[in-house]
Amino acid sequence: MRRMIRDRDVVIISSIEWDFLWQGPQEIATRLAHAGNRVLYIENTGIRSPKLRDARRVASRAINWASHVSSQGLRSVAANLHVCSPIVLPPSGSSWQRKLNRRVFLPMIKRAVVSLGMRDPLLLSFLPTDTAVDLIQLLRTESGLLIYYCAADFGELSYHPLRLAQSERELLGLSDLVLAQCDSLAAHCSRWASNIHIVPYGVNLEVFAPRNGSGAHRELEADSKDKLRQPVIGYVGGLHRHLDLSLLTAMAEARPHWSWVCIGPAQTPLGKLAALPNVQLRGEFHHAELARHIEGFDVGIVPYVSSVFTNTVVPTKVNEYLAMGKAVVSTALPAVCNHSSWDGTVLTAEPNPQRFIAAIEDALALPTDAQARAHRRSVAARSDWQARLEHICDLIETALAAKSGQRARAMGSI
């Protein structure tokens, strides 16, 4: 019978800031802490050197650290859950940068771990960088466990892909357990590790729960200065370089009588899209507020570019749309097309305006009655975060038992 692990110390080396777009790392940290584990969430130490567009994030990190310098850069965000905003030099840098991280900055994180009284922590890393590997070497113990959650092809984001590949190989060699978002990432990891399990990110069914009210469009309009034209085609998530802005712009121009609503932070210049009268850019909202926006959508979309990076992306927003009972259209990403749980539920199209619009029109023609909405939600329920995490906990318990047995046999052979 599956159950959550309890009474453990857990250090999560995250790939994202705590207060940015809510994703798997925050969900896992929150649920583990709620189950009675003491959790330290270490905010993103980076994949690449920061650019001008990262100035706000870097400033926020510096402010968070300075505001909590007396507590080793720690802040408590919930019962059993602490967040560390570390100051480190970017990964994959020169030898002197790595030495400075090892001797000055990373020991500051270790002192934060010690200040919490953590012993033999479970280390869960979402980052495969040399910085993450060096931190792991500082924190790991014989009785602890190292888990690598391979959630993306970070080599496609790094300015130094060869160095990142080297550090990832080292991390995989050290790991006791590897979790991968999709088949292709699991195959990638299998070259250097053996205990690999495919565990895509889940969905919080309590947060994404439809109210089935008749005023969904009106509530979405309440946040707008202009009346929404129907149908409403919606997107939730960061407006970043992996979003096909040219596709989205062309579709909005081709269907000026439709409303195109984007919920999420702008992370790249949006160009002509921002000026179109039928496009509404709502900005970023707290994760718990997304459901009421999605409830006003007629169709939820995932118009991502086709690239080496997105070939391994499993969009969390698909399950969020489905949990709200919405029809979904996505770019024909491999991880979407091969996702067995979504088979027959999510419509896909090539990143071509005419074909994507045709798929949206097909989605608009689908049933929207209670039975249809309930079916979509039942599909999303297969990815319920609670069930996902209980499965992860089973894998952790098995890996801990295997490691304990190995130590016992080693002691017996002495």
Nearest to 341 by CA among 289, 387, 383, 396: 383
Q: Is residue 190 part of a domain?
A: yes
Average pLDDT score over residue span 187-199: 96
Average pLDDT score over residue span 229-250: 95
Q: Is the pLDDT of residue 413 over 60?
A: yes
Mean residue pLDDT of the chain comes to 90
Regarding whether 69 and 196 lie in a shared domain, the answer is yes
Q: Is residue 271 part of a domain?
A: yes
Regarding whether 68 and 173 lie in a shared domain, the answer is yes
Model confidence band, residue 409 (pLDDT cutoffs 50, 70, 90): confident
Model confidence band, residue 3 (pLDDT cutoffs 50, 70, 90): confident
Regarding whether 22 and 83 lie in a shared domain, the answer is yes
Q: Is residue 291 part of a domain?
A: yes
Q: Cβ-count burial of 319 within 10 angstroms (0-12 exposed, 13-18 middle, 19+ buried)? A: buried
Regarding whether 64 and 111 lie in a shared domain, the answer is yes
Residues 355-364 have pLDDT tens digits of 999 999 999 9
- Angstrom distance (rounded) from CA 352 to CA 244: 10
Q: Is residue 208 part of a domain?
A: no
Residues 160-186 have pLDDT tens digits of 999 999 999 999 999 999 999 999 999
Q: What is the pLDDT of residue 1?
A: 47
Regarding whether 388 and 360 lie in a shared domain, the answer is no
Those residues with Cβ within 8 angstroms of residue 114's Cβ, 6 or more apart along the chain or in another chain: none
**Residues in the chain, total:** 414
Regarding whether 363 and 231 lie in a shared domain, the answer is yes
Q: Is the pLDDT of residue 68 over 60?
A: no
Those residues with Cβ within 8 angstroms of residue 216's Cβ, 6 or more apart along the chain or in another chain: 295, 296
Q: Is residue 393 part of a domain?
A: yes
Residues 85-125 have pLDDT tens digits of 998 999 988 899 999 999 999 999 999 999 999 999 999 99
Count of structural domains, the chain: 2
Max Cα-Cα span within the chain: 77
- Angstrom distance (rounded) from CA 101 to CA 95: 10
Regarding whether 65 and 192 lie in a shared domain, the answer is yes
Q: Cβ-count burial of 313 within 10 angstroms (0-12 exposed, 13-18 middle, 19+ buried)? A: buried
Nearest to 329 by CA among 235, 192, 194: 235
Which CATH number goes with the domain that contains 141?
Answer: 3.40.50.2000
Tokens 């074909």 label which residue?
355
Regarding whether 195 and 171 lie in a shared domain, the answer is yes
Residues 32-57 have pLDDT tens digits of 999 999 999 999 998 855 554 545 55
Nearest to 166 by CA among 133, 208, 200: 133
Residues 373-383 have pLDDT tens digits of 999 999 999 99
Model confidence band, residue 126 (pLDDT cutoffs 50, 70, 90): very high
Regarding whether 372 and 223 lie in a shared domain, the answer is yes
Instruction: Determine which helix (DSSP H) or strand (DSSP E) holds 134, and give its type and residue range.
Output: helix 130-139
Residues 364-406 have pLDDT tens digits of 999 999 999 999 999 999 999 999 999 999 999 999 999 988 8
Tokens of 169: 């190989």
Give me the sign of the Cα torsion angle 42, 44, 50, 56.
Answer: negative
Helices 385-412 and 24-34: crossing angle in degrees, nearest 10, is 70
Model confidence band, residue 226 (pLDDT cutoffs 50, 70, 90): low
Q: Which domain holds residue 299?
A: 216-381
In percent, how much of the chain has pLDDT > 90?
Answer: 79
Q: Is the pLDDT of residue 58 over 70?
A: no
Q: Is the pLDDT of residue 332 over 60?
A: yes
Regarding whether 197 and 256 lie in a shared domain, the answer is no
